[in-house]
Structures are given as C-alpha cells and as structure tokens.
Chain A
C-alpha cells in the first residue's frame, strides 16, 4: 500500500516565525489532504489538494503530484497553530485515507 512520510516529526517555533512541513508519498495520489489536530483531538480540514497550490489566510499548500510530495506553509505562526499536522492520501481514489505520522508543532510566545 501507499506509504506517507512526514517531516520534520517535531518542530518548535517562536511566535511570528514561518515554517514548512513536508509530506512525501510512495505512489501517485489523487486526493491528498492536510489536517490540523487540535488539543481535543478534532481533525480540522486544512486543504484538499491533489495538485497545485492553495492558500487560506496564513496557510498555504502545494502538491507536486509528479514528484510525489506536498508542502504545507505556515506564515507568521501563532500559539494557536500548535498541535499535530497530518497529511493523508488514499491508496486508490475514494478509498480510506492513509495517514503519515504527523508533525508535532509547538509555537511558543
């Protein structure tokens, strides 16, 4: 099955700093997603991004499907950005998502 690898596993940022999270996948994917898991466990949908670039406020994401990776950019980080960021993709379109191990982000004031 597909393998999803995320880096870095842990990241500590000073408030206001920028960061880039990376997601590599072992095979072609059709619908990669990025999530933020908050301290209560809720998975918040950030991006549904099979290819190309999308932006939402201070967050943006880019997926280069031909090279099998996706990047999540966080600019001007805030303490509320802390949590775990997951990328996930299905083995085949519309099958269950396979998750990476996540990047644990801590933003300190």
Chain B
C-alpha cells in the first residue's frame, strides 16, 4: 500500500510556542491530505482538509488561525499549532489517498501520528 510518513512522532513544547508537524506521501502524489485529532480513549475527528496550492478547509469549531495548514507541494502538508496551550495536547494524524488513475473510491492511508504535549 501507499506510504504516508509523519514527523515528529512525539513532541513536548512549552505553552505559548509553536509546533510544526509534517506529513509526506512517500511514493505517490497527494493533491489532498486530511488532518485528524484524537484525544485519549476517543475516536479520530477530522480537523481540516489540506489542498495543494490552495487554502485548507477547516471543520466547524477548528480555529484556522491556531492550526495553520500549508500544502506547498504534491507530497508535503504541514500543520503548525501556533501559541500552543495545554488543551492542545493531543494525538494528531494525517491521511492521504493514492488516487493514481482511479476515479473510483480509493483506500486512505495514515501517517504514524504525532503525540503533542504542551507543558
């Protein structure tokens, strides 16, 4: 299957600082990537859809000025958590699909996730 790589896997930062998380599609091009957040013992919740060359689309309740998304190339999307606070501590996971030549539904693959702890 397609490989999605996410970095870093774990980060601890001080309150008020910013953290950047990278998501790369290693063996395919992804015009669209998705960012999810998962709190302990809960399911994955979609935060935003990252679109190559255009603005991200954020889900209701997600602050776009706090969670900056940049999709500058067909293989890289970044999520920057700005002015992080302890309540931003969570598990962040990115996802992408390898559409290839298919116009039909395709399988989604996920990065390893980033565990963010804000102290």
On chain B, the residues within 8 Å of A68 by CB distance are none
Q: Type the 1/0 row for A19-52, where 1 means its CB is closer than 8 Å to any CB of B.
A: 0000000000011010100001111010010100
Knowing A94-B97, A101-B43 are in contact, say whether A41-B108 is a contact too (CB < 8 A): no
Q: Give the docked Cα–Cα distance between A69 and B4 (Å).
A: 28
On chain B, the residues within 8 Å of A98 by CB distance are 46
Contact of A41 among B46, B91, B99, B105 (CB under 8 A): B91
Knowing A41-B113, A101-B43 are in contact, say whether A48-B107 is a contact too (CB < 8 A): yes
Report the contact-size class of chain B (Cβ under 8 Å from the partner): 20 to 34
On chain A, the residues within 8 Å of B106 by CB distance are 31, 94
B76-119 contacts to A (CB < 8 Å): 91, 93, 95, 97, 99, 104-110, 112-113, 115
Q: Are A94 and B1 in contact (CB under 8 A)?
A: no
Knowing A41-B91, A43-B110 are in contact, say whether A94-B99 is a contact too (CB < 8 A): yes
Q: Are A31 and B105 in contact (CB under 8 A)?
A: yes
Q: Are B113 and A31 in contact (CB under 8 A)?
A: no
Q: Are B93 and A45 in contact (CB under 8 A)?
A: no
Q: Is A97 an interface residue (CB 8 A)?
A: yes
Contact of B107 among A33, A42, A101, A102 (CB under 8 A): A33
Q: Give the docked Cα–Cα distance between A29 and B42 (Å).
A: 23
Contact of B43 among A50, A93, A100 (CB under 8 A): A100
In angstroms, how far is the closest chain A Cβ from the Cβ of B32? 8
Q: Which residues of A contact B (CB under 8 A)?
A: 30-31, 33, 35, 40-43, 45, 48, 50, 86, 88, 90, 93-94, 96-102
Q: Which residues of B contact A (CB under 8 A)?
A: 1, 34, 38, 42-46, 49, 91, 93, 95, 97, 99, 104-110, 112-113, 115
10 further contact pairs, Cβ within 8 A, besides A41-B93, A93-B104, A96-B34: A31-B106, A31-B107, A33-B107, A33-B108, A41-B91, A43-B93, A50-B105, A94-B105, A98-B46, A100-B43
Closest 8 CB pairs of A and B: A31-B105, A48-B107, A43-B110, A30-B105, A41-B113, A93-B105, A99-B44, A96-B34
